[in-house]
Chain A
Amino acid sequence: MLLVFVGACRPREDARATAEAATAGPRVVSLVPAVTEMLFAVGAGPQVVGVSSYDKHPAEVATRPRVGALLDPDLERILSLKPDLVVTYGSQTALHEQLARANIATFTYRHGGIGDTLETFEAVATRVGRGDAGRAAAQVLRAQLTGIRMRVEGQPRPRTLLVFGREPGSIRHVWASGGVGFLHELLDVAGADNVFGDVARENIQATSELLLARAPEVIVELRAETRVAESPSPWLALPGVPAVRQGRVLALTGDQMVVPGPRLGQAAEALARALHPDAFAHQPK
């Protein structure tokens, strides 16, 4: 009982604290981690009064009340935070209606490529009254990406498999980036060709046959968290894959790799450094 009571009270106190900190502009609840990051990046952090269950970045989000996510938005809690604007996913139609009835504006997030991220950056910043900061931040991100593109220009572009999930300890249920979406585009920026670039889907289950047939020269595994090293590597089950034969199976850790937000520049750089260490050899990290 007591726990429930404490649990129910806590967010409201937090909300009050953040409300006091907020200087100007609308109070925002964000159900989309990528957009939360954007809001903090343009200095609208104090206006963010609620975040999704999956928000991890920046560290300040830990102090904000959690209001659910894509599948389980907690309307009651969202309303209790008295937001002026709620950032939602396009598929949350029921939530849109409920919020409209409560006279709360929504900003619909559209998941897509890097271009969509840049557009979203500017648009959401404008909605919270920080259009200039948004345009500037998008410009910085654009410049970062262009910088990386130029850095790896002229390097050989390895045929690369970008893995973002598989069964632990084996190469079953390998999920890889298809030819659509920001991961595919990041790979392009970082100077590599996606082995599934021709598949018009955001993700594809890469069966052992596809892995052999597509013969990636490099395999990059994205992980949100550090995992225990697998020994022996499960990829050795496919010794015919060039990346396995040449020992070019790379792991990149960090949630910036999977959140299409302001840290895309960092993600692209990490990817480029892993793929083309020579291009970064004489530069300070």
Chain B
Amino acid sequence: MRAPAESGVVRTAAWDPHDPRAAAQAAAGRRRQAWRIYGLFGTLLLAAIVGAPLVGSTPLDLRAVLDRTRPFADNLDAQIFFIARLPRVLAAGLVGATLAVAGVVMQALLRNPLATPFTLGVSSGSALGAMLALTFLPTWTGGALTSVPLASLAGALGAVAIVYALAQVRHRGFSTDVLLLAGVTLNAFFSALILLVQYLSDFTETMRTMRWLMGDLDVAGYRPLVIAMGLLLPAAVAFAWLPRSLNALALGAEQAGSRGVPVLGVQRLAFFAASLATGVAVSLAGPIGFVGIIVPHLVRLLVGADHRIVMPASALFGAAFLMACDALARLVLSPVELPVGVVTAVVGAPFFLWLLIRKT
């Protein structure tokens, strides 16, 4: 066993927190580092935004896409680009960023590196809602909203309410342990109900519900995106406010409290914001796994644990990552598509493991 001083963390020992000049230098260094990371991930995202709509099962002529002289109704390239691909790529970006940030917040809130946006039962509640709608609800359209996304959002919010109530009962505060256990149990319970619903449904419905569970970004229009963005707004505001408090929370609730952080309020806000964000993302695109755990860890491996950097960086990288995965899903077996959830896991897991081994 080597002594801690020899294990490569010598630099921190040399830093004196009471030296204002050194502190200022370190802060400036961190800022530069942060901007480099934003630059890197921003470039990746830009590449994804530009590149992803250009690939697909149909070869597109970009000049035809942008040709304003032809009426849109007769311009197949433009229709494919603007009706099918662009909304889809934007959905991937929105869902990727949302799940990645929700993952960061859940991991900080539960102080558990294995936490994901789906840990507290939000996604399985959402899935149960969708399954019930797909299996039992007759066709129902309420203007802009259709039964399945609506039921899935309702399921997500229902799950959030149950978990929250459980974490509150018998605890005057907000027990993250109870939260975690309740979430995991609720996940199992909802999964059992989902299986039951599938078992009771017809063959064709079973296929549809299975497909829903694999995640799908083909939203075919901008309306679902606009609705989702509207619903995500409160969560986004909360996410913007949270990073500093989450940093304090990472030291433990007591430490954070002694530094003047309103621990209970922060925990509640983090819980509701991450849950709402997850619920909206899942109702838009189904439970796309792996983004919410792999992206935060990957980003942390690159930029450290400061939530002020991790959260925006995760949003950028999450968006780029899911856009890229969706592009792959569209291309590999074209014209047949792979479920994007399968791609995120198959691509993400080995990459993550490689990074993990390389870093340690």
Contact = CB atoms under 8 A, between A and B. Distances in A.
Q: Is A bound to B?
A: yes
Nearest to A200: B336
A180 interface: no
Contact of A164 (B58, B138, B199, B204): B204
Contact of B76 (A170, A215, A230, A231): A215
A240 B146 CA distance: 22
A79 B215 CA distance: 41
A220 to B, nearest CB: 16
Contacts of B57: 207, 209-210, 213
B138 A209 contact: no
Given A210-B335, A212-B84, A238-B220, A175 B79 contact: no
B139 interface: yes
Contact of B148 (A168, A210, A227): A168
A237 B202 contact: no
A230 B218 contact: no
B148 A205 contact: no
Contact of A175 (B73, B140, B207, B221): B207
Q: Which of A54, A173, A199, A211 has the most chain B CB within a 10 Å cutoff?
A: A173
B354 interface: no
Given A208-B84, A209-B56, A212-B79, A167 B146 contact: yes
A1 interface: no
Interface string B66-86: 000000110010011001110
A243 to B, nearest CB: 14
Interface in B212-266: 212, 216, 218-221
B141 interface: yes
A240 B335 contact: no
Interface string A163-184: 0111111111101000000000
B36 interface: no
A230 B219 contact: no
A204 B336 contact: yes
Given A209-B58, A213-B76, A169 B204 contact: no
A168 B205 CA distance: 11
A240 B71 CA distance: 11
Contacts of A211: 84
A66 to B, nearest CB: 13
A247 interface: no
B83 A173 contact: no
Contacts of B76: 212-213, 215, 240
B134 interface: yes
B218 A168 contact: no
B61 to A, nearest CB: 13
Contact of B335 (A72, A165, A204, A230): A204
Contacts of B208: 165-167, 173, 175
A239 interface: yes
Interface string B144-162: 0011100000000000000
B146 A169 contact: yes
B83 A238 contact: yes
Interface string A219-247: 00000100111110010011110000100
B337 interface: yes
A16 interface: no
B84 A207 contact: yes
Contacts of B218: 172, 207-209
Nearest to B142: A169
Contacts of A207: 57, 84, 218, 220, 330, 337
A90 to B, nearest CB: 16
A127 interface: no
Contact of A168 (B79, B140, B219): B140
B323 to A, nearest CB: 15
A40 B242 CA distance: 68
A170 B283 CA distance: 14
Nearest to A238: B83
B268 interface: no
Interface in A143-194: 164-173, 175
A6 B199 CA distance: 23
A197 to B, nearest CB: 12
B216 A231 contact: no
Contacts of B72: 240
Interface of B: 56-58, 72-73, 76, 79-80, 83-85, 88, 133-134, 137-141, 146-148, 199, 202-205, 207-208, 211-212, 216, 218-221, 330, 335-337
12 contacts: A167-B208, A168-B134, A169-B147, A172-B216, A173-B216, A199-B335, A205-B211, A208-B88, A212-B80, A228-B140, A238-B83, A240-B73
Given A168-B138, A208-B84, 16 more contacts: A70-B203, A167-B148, A168-B140, A172-B218, A173-B216, A205-B336, A207-B84, A207-B337, A210-B335, A212-B76, A213-B80, A227-B138, A228-B138, A230-B139, A234-B146, A240-B83
